[in-house]
Amino acid sequence: MKTMRFCAKLVIAGAITLTVGVGSTVADWSFDVLARDDLRKTAMEPLNGSVKTYTALSQSEVTKKWSLCMLVPHTTNEILRAYIWGTVDEAKRLGAKLTTFDAGGYDKLSTQLSQFDDCVTLGADAILLMAISPTAYGQKIAAARERGVKVIDLNIGVDAEVDGRVVVTFKFVGDVIGKALAERHPSDSVSVIVMPGPAGVAWSEDMVIGLNDAIVGSGVSVEKVVYGAPGKIDQQPLVEDVLTAYADLDYIAGMGSSVEAAVNILREQGRVGEVKLYGTWLTPTVIQGLKDKIIEGVVLENSVIVNRLAVDLAIRVLEGKADPTLLDVVPVVSLVDGVSVDDAPAANFAPADWQTEMNVD
């Protein structure tokens, strides 16, 4: 048995226990989560819960081959690759069939709505929904559930009743970064540009809210919020514009892809250290930036575990084996820096040599 632990800073961190299995890379696992005692009627309600240990189903507890369908907004960065790998590997572990649909971007709502219908038409037992819009799916979810299809609200959050939620609350992510900045600058004035992701998307807007709330009363001020698509290639010109327009900027707080782009540009310009960086998610490239002390800190969200939880929760619900106090869960987040980054577990990444696969037969 292999146990991996990671260091916490500002928030309690989790512990993952894995044992190796056949087909999947693991047989059994458990993880510390933040959980409510009841399932929220909408993800717009705050997740006020307590830390519990979520223990996944064993393979012997699954009685049939269930059919799962996952909808993702895009597949353009490392964090989505981690989500997909966690889903694929957990489906293999529990002997489930998996079909994955990629909408092609956060501007492709109509495409994803059609893909939701495709999941139902294909006879999916459960849909894992990473929704582009928090408000567009109410009727479709209700209709699917009436037909007996279970719906798991995954990662982003929808304003609708579902059968389970694994929603990363980006207000917590923004809060972690905001508190780190406020603790460093309780009274001395510093400026930060926030690059949270696409405008109007719930997780992006929540990150800004969490950060703004956390810096109240400190010397930290948000100079501007710069929205943009989450791919590194999309963030590169936005970061270049920010660094040109704000010559005296102290910090950039943004997505992992934003931070990756900023590291490259600051190196090219010979300005490493002039603008300090905080990231909302971890990537292999960002890890090196932390070790090189180019990046101050990054939030650890345990990306692979997020989707393992969603698959396990879906099959628990289908099997009638769900714990009602563990239907609304999310891995506990923490902040890592150049010292604690070596303790960041593999729960954040797909294996480097993994050839991306979207489906499991």
The domain that holds 325 is classified in CATH as 3.40.50.2300
User: How big is the chain by its Cα radius of gyration, in Å?
Assistant: 20
Same domain, 119 and 218: no
Residue 81 and residue 70: Cα distance in Å, rounded?
Answer: 13
At residue 12, the pLDDT reads 29
CA dihedral 281, 282, 285, 290 (to 10 degrees): 100
Same domain, 76 and 193: no
Same domain, 57 and 188: no
Same domain, 159 and 306: yes
Residues near 58 by beta carbon (within 8 Å), at least 6 away in sequence: 27, 28
On whether residue 97 sits in a domain, the answer given is: yes
- First CA to last CA distance, the chain: 28
On whether residue 100 sits in a domain, the answer given is: yes
Angle at 259 between CA 255 and CA 261, to 5 degrees: 115
At residue 220, the pLDDT reads 98
CB 166, CB 310: distance < 8 Å: yes
Residue 122 per-residue DSSP state? T
Same domain, 162 and 37: yes
At residue 307, the pLDDT reads 95
Per DSSP, the residues of 43-68 read: TTS----EEEEEEPPPGGG--S--EE
Secondary structure of residue 163 in the 3-state scheme: coil
At residue 354, the pLDDT reads 86
Number of domains in the chain: 2
Burial class (CB in 10 A: 0-12, 13-18, 19+), 319: middle
Q: Which domain holds residue 260?
A: 170-300
Same domain, 122 and 206: no
Same domain, 6 and 155: yes
Q: Could you read off the pLDDT of 17-42 as tens digits, one per residue?
A: 444 444 566 678 999 998 999 999 99
Residue 152 and residue 150: Cα distance in Å, rounded?
Answer: 7
On whether residue 45 sits in a domain, the answer given is: yes
In this prediction, the residues of the chain whose per-residue pLDDT falls under 50 are 1-22
At residue 26, the pLDDT reads 67
On whether residue 53 sits in a domain, the answer given is: yes
Same domain, 135 and 234: no
On whether residue 358 sits in a domain, the answer given is: no
pTM: 0.78
Same domain, 99 and 197: no
Same domain, 229 and 114: no
Where is 203: in which H helix or E strand?
helix 202-214
At residue 16, the pLDDT reads 45
Secondary structure of residue 4 in the 3-state scheme: strand
On whether residue 226 sits in a domain, the answer given is: yes
On whether residue 28 sits in a domain, the answer given is: yes
CB 308, CB 19: distance < 8 Å: no
Same domain, 307 and 241: no
Residue 177 and residue 279: Cα distance in Å, rounded?
Answer: 8
On whether residue 118 sits in a domain, the answer given is: yes
Same domain, 259 and 294: yes
